[in-house]
C-alpha cells in the first residue's frame, strides 16, 4: 500500500478540492499520511492568485522535490498555478511528474497510475467543469467545523483578477446537492458550516435565474445539530434586503460577514471594474449595520494602477469613518492576463507597502477599541485547543485562520468543539481574554 500526502495552499476552496482528492485516493486503496517524509507520492495543491501565492507554491514544489532523493517517488502539482502555468511548470520544474489543473483533479488516481508507468502527465483546460457532486471528502479541518462550497468560478471580471481564467465562469451547485452535503458534514460532527464561493451572494443566479442565498441559508439552518452558519466572500453588489433580513432573523447565522470592498473611491472602483460605487457601498454597509452586533470583515487593495494620493486619502478616511471590525489590506499584484496589467501608471512597490502599513496601523487601533468594548461582556466561544495553561477558541466574530482568537481561562475540563459562554476580562489589538 503506497503512502500519499497532500499539501494544500491558498484558500478554503482549494482545501475542499484537496479533501476530495484524498477521498478518491483512499477509495483506491492508498494510505493517507500527514507527514511528507513518509509519503511515496506527494501532491501540492497550489495557489496562483497573486505573486506572493505563486512564489510560495513554487518554493514548496522545489523544497518537496528534494525529498525525491529519499523515500518520495512522485511529486504532483495540482490547483490554480497548475491550471494557469501548466506547460511552463513541467518545463521549468523537472522534479514534477504531473501537473493537473483546477477542473481535472478528479483524475488524480488515473494520473498516478500513468506516472507509475514512467510517463509525465499534463491535465488541464477544463476549468469550467463542476466537480463537486458525487465525490466524498476526507476533512482536513477539525471535525467541529467544515467549509461548504456553494458555487465555483467567477463571472465578475474584475480588472485585477485572474480567477475567471483559472477557475472558470460562475457555476452554482444545485440546492439539493448542497443541503445533502451539509447534512453529511453535520453528521460527521461539524457544528459550524462556513459557506464559500468566489462570490457567495450571487448564488443561484445562473441555475435559478435569481439570487437564492437566503433560501439556501434557510434550508441549511433546518439541519439538527448545526450551531453556526458563517458567510464568507459576499460581494457588495448582490447583498439584497432579503439576504440582510435572513441574516438578521436566522439564529443559526452568525452576525458576521466577509464582504471584499477593495476600495472606496469611485474612479478606482471603475478602473477595477467592480460593478459598484461609493454610494452603493454606503447603502450596503448601512443595511448590514441594521443587524444588531454585526461584525463586518472586509479587504482593501492599495497601489492599484493610477491610485493617486487623493484616492488613497479617500480610502484612509473611509476606513476611519466606517470602523470595520475586521480589515485585511493587500498590495496590488500585477498579473499577466488581466486588464490591469497594461494600465498606467503602475505604482512603485515601496509606495504600495507604505500605504498598506499606514492603513493597517489605522485598523489596529480601530480593532483594539472594538475589542475593548467587549470587556465585561459575555461571549459564546467555540473551544479549539489548549496551550500554555489556557484554552483558546473563536467567538462569532472570528473566522478560522484569518481572524483573532479568544483565550479562555477555566478550571473546568474542556475539549475542542465545546461551546462555552466566557466573560471577557481583557483585550488586545486582535485577540480577547475571558474566563469560564
Binding-site residue ranges for [4Fe-4S] cluster: 11, 47, 80, 154, 158, 161
Count of beta carbons in the 10 Å neighbourhood of residue 251: 9
CA 252, CA 256: separation in Å to the nearest integer?
A: 11
User: With contact defined as beta carbons under 8 Å apart, do 247 and 279 qualify?
Assistant: no
Q: Which of 294, 368, 364, 279 is nearest to 329 (CA)?
A: 364
**Residues with Cβ < 8 Å from 147, sequence gap 6 or more?**
12, 13, 15, 16, 141, 193, 194, 196
CA–CA distances in Å: residue 435 to residues 172, 209, 268, 388 = 43, 48, 45, 15
CA distances to 55, 163, 325 from 338, rounded to whole Å, are 18, 10, 31
* CB neighbourhood size of 329 (10 A): 19
For every residue of 347-380, DSSP letters joined together read PPHHHHHHHHHHHHHHHHHHHHHHHHTTTTSEEE
Instruction: Extract the C-alpha cell encoding 401.
Output: 485562520
Can you say whether the dihedral through the CA atoms of 276, 278, 283, 289 is positive or negative?
positive
User: Between helices 241-249 and 213-221, what is the axis angle to 10°?
Assistant: 20
Distance, in Å, from the CA atom of 186 to the CA atom of 417, rounded to the nearest integer, reads 13
Which residues fall in the annotated binding site? 11, 47, 80, 154, 158, 161
- What's the CA gap between 45 and 83, in Å, rounded? 11
Amino acid at each position: 500500500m503506497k503512502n500519499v500526502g497532500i499539501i494544500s495552499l491558498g484558500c478554503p476552496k482549494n482545501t475542499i478540492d484537496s479533501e476530495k482528492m484524498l477521498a478518491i485516493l483512499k477509495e483506491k486503496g492508498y494510505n493517507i499520511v500527514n507527514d511528507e517524509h513518509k509519503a511515496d507520492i506527494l501532491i501540492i495543491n497550489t495557489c496562483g492568485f497573486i505573486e506572493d501565492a505563486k512564489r510560495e507554491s513554487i518554493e514548496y514544489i522545489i523544497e518537496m522535490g528534494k525529498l525525491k532523493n529519499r523515500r518520495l517517488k512522485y511529486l504532483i502539482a495540482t490547483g490554480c498555478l497548475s491550471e494557469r502555468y501548466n506547460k511552463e511548470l513541467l518545463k521549468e520544474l523537472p522534479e514534477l511528474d504531473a501537473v493537473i489543473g483546477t477542473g481535472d483533479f478528479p483524475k488524480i488516481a488515473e494520473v498516478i497510475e500513468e506516472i507509475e508507468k514512467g510517463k509525465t502527465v499534463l491535465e488541464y483546460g477544463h476549468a469550467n467543469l463542476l466537480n463537486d457532486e458525487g465525490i466524498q471528502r476526507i476533512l482536513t479541518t477539525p471535525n467541529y467545523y467544515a467549509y461548504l462550497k456553494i458555487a465555483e468560478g467567477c463571472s465578475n471580471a474584475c480588472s485585477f483578477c485572474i480567477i475567471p481564467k483559472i477557475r472558470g465562469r460562475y457555476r452554482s451547485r444545485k440546492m439539493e446537492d448542497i443541503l445533502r452535503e451539509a447534512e453529511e458534514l453535520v453528521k460527521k460532527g461539524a457544528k459550524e458550516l462556513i459557506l464559500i464561493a468566489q462570490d457567495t451572494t450571487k448564488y443561484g443566479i445562473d441555475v435559478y435565474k435569481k439570487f437564492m442565498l437566503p433560501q439556501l441559508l434557510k434550508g441549511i439552518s433546518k439541519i439538527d445539530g448545526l450551531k453556526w452558519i458563517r458567510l464568507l466572500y459576499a460581494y457588495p453588489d448582490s447583498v439584497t434586503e432579503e439576504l440582510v433580513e435572513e441574516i438578521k432573523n436566522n439564529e443559526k447565522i452568525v452576525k458576521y460577514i466577509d464582504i471584499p470592498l477593495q476600495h472606496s473611491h469611485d474612479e478606482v472602483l471603475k478602473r477595477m471594474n467592480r460593478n459598484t460605487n461609493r454610494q452603493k457601498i454606503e447603502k450596503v454597509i448601512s443595511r448590514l449595520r441594521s443587524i444588531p452586533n454585526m461584525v463586518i470583515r472586509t479587504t482593501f487593495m492599495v497601489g492599484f494602477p493610477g491610485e493617486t494620493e487623493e484616492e488613497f486619502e479617500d480610502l484612509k478616511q473611509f476606513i476611519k469613518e466606517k470602523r470595520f471590525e475586521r480589515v485585511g489590506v493587500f498590495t496590488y499584484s500585477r498579473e499577466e492576463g488581466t486588464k490591469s496589467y497594461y494600465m498606467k501608471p503602475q505604482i512603485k512597490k515601496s509606495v504600495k507597502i507604505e500605504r498598506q502599513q499606514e492603513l493597517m496601523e489605522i485598523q489596529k487601533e480601530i480593532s483594539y477599541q472594538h475589542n475593548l468594548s467587549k470587556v465585561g461582556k459575555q461571549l459564546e466561544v467555540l473551544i479549539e485547543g489548549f496551550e500554555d495553561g489556557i484554552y483558546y477558541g473563536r467567538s462569532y466574530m472570528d473566522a478560522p485562520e484569518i481572524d483573532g482568537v479568544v483565550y479562555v481561562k477555566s478550571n473546568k475540563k474542556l475539549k475542542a468543539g465545546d461551546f462555552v459562554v466566557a466573560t471577557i476580562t481583557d483585550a488586545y489589538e486582535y485577540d480577547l481574554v475571558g474566563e469560564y
